Chain A
């Protein structure tokens, strides 16, 4: 299995086209049929119609969010697998997912979620920020990447425990249900506002991660060699951690915890880029976008009554699929 000869241009163009097609399909899928052409025309003519309302206020934000969050998870997973040189790394490994989730859960707990639309994402972002501060305090100047993983595991455990505590003392069953549903992860019923509050953090995160591509390539030769090649390993490691925390924190803040995308996508893409961490970054970004859009389309097609949550389906499909990948590629694994 050697696809490594596929040039970047072709691979990225192919993935990009695929993403556009899936994105278009995502706009078509929903409980009612709408004409996308008609909706566009109505918008241009400044003539509000049901079609344009559904397209621009419901489906477009949902599809954009699914795409951007999927892309973020794919990119962050690829970056962390490269940084930690561990194929089991996923975006949540540095603890940012659970602490962002806890931030959002607090907002539910105290009942601020329905007061202002920005309360939830803000709570999530503050939670993500807290995890970065704690990682800094714990890891500090340590040379070892193991300290980073351990700190992440600890923060994840604490975040999970605090979420459990909040559920335990939830003021009423309704709040508890709200929290649980939110935690399952979804991009349904989000507006452009949520997209816009997350976008700056997502873009900053992407930028920081992509800047480190060359460093991740050098790191495949080991840290000492990377230093001798002119990389300030400690500084670049922090840039990566902050980049991941920024975009993943923002993603969790608006959509809850969506698992497995960040773990599976880099593995799916890796054979096509000759395992090169730097080339994996952009390709995983596109791949993550595609996969989460597909998952969200599936969610809408499968559930008619009570909505199936996106995070549930990614986990349901992602877990067994990951097993299959391990069986298939165990000799080629990192």
Chain B
């Protein structure tokens, strides 16, 4: 079942093309990775898919229904979006921050219900953030803050989670923790779409990878199909060593090919 489709997506700012002709599909139970060099348009693609920006061209379908026909409230219940470098701007406690994830389920005059309490509790269990529920978010470590922001998304109980470089600033332990949480979410009628720079994590955890380069789709497929030394050389301009073993695929960048980025 297709949860999300982007058809021929394009995005322009003042005649400058940021994205062009992107086709993407996310099926139920899938974890989809978006990879590509800095500035390729991955984050922009995520903003289009989450309806934060409107595409200049093309259509986005949720459950085969055009998003323009889905109300913002309905959309908000269905998706969770972890922005790049998500952080707490406010001196909130962990529990209160996670509680913000319930906003799409509340009317403007409503406050928390018992269902909200349950979802917040469950979100803290999934992300293992219960231990510091009363601490102020900004006093936590980077890894803990990311988990709290992720918990906020779980409190919404969305079908699809979009995460923009969720593991970029984390230590290996927290990287694996976040990836496992997202992997666990991506089953049954749920899915996730994750922008990643760590190619090994992308190859190990994702069911399908989309490589974006210069605002266009360079290629897509399973990690085995698409994570080749040639592709990485062409897109990133680096020579890499790729090892497949029982643990999965791991990619190690070795050296730059030439002075300039391709």
A residues lining the B interface (CB < 8 Å): 4, 8, 85, 211, 213-214, 217-218, 220-222, 224-225, 227-232, 274-277, 332, 334
Contacts and interface: CB of A to CB of B under 8 A. Distances in A.
Nearest to B47: A224
A231 B72 contact: yes
Interface stretch (B88-96, B205-213, B230-238): B88-96
Given A221-B100, A222-B83, A228 B52 contact: yes
Interface residues of B, number: 32
A230 B89 contact: no
Interface string B151-173: 01000100000100000000000
A243 B103 CA distance: 22
A275 B90 contact: yes
A228 B77 CA distance: 9
Nearest to B91: A275
B60 to A, nearest CB: 13
B75 A221 contact: no
B79 interface: yes
Contacts of B72: 230-232
Given A211-B108, A334-B91, A230 B86 contact: no
Contacts of A332: 91
Contacts, number: 71
Given A211-B108, A220-B100, A228 B89 contact: no
Interface in B123-142: none
Interface of B: 47, 50-52, 71-73, 75-77, 79-81, 83, 86, 88-93, 96-97, 100, 103-104, 106, 108, 111, 152, 156, 162
Nearest to A270: B91
Contacts of B77: 230
A277 B100 CA distance: 12
24 contacts: A4-B93, A4-B96, A8-B111, A85-B89, A217-B100, A217-B103, A220-B88, A220-B90, A220-B100, A221-B86, A221-B89, A222-B86, A222-B89, A224-B52, A224-B81, A227-B51, A228-B80, A228-B81, A228-B162, A230-B72, A230-B104, A231-B72, A274-B92, A276-B96
Q: Indicate the member of B51, B76, B97, B156 with the most A CB atoms within 10 Å.
A: B76
Q: Indicate the member of A85, A227, A232, A332 with the most B CB atoms within 10 Å.
A: A227
Given A228-B80, A274-B92, A276-B96, 17 more contacts: A8-B111, A85-B89, A217-B100, A217-B103, A220-B89, A221-B97, A222-B89, A224-B47, A224-B81, A225-B81, A225-B86, A228-B51, A228-B81, A228-B162, A277-B90, A334-B89, A334-B91
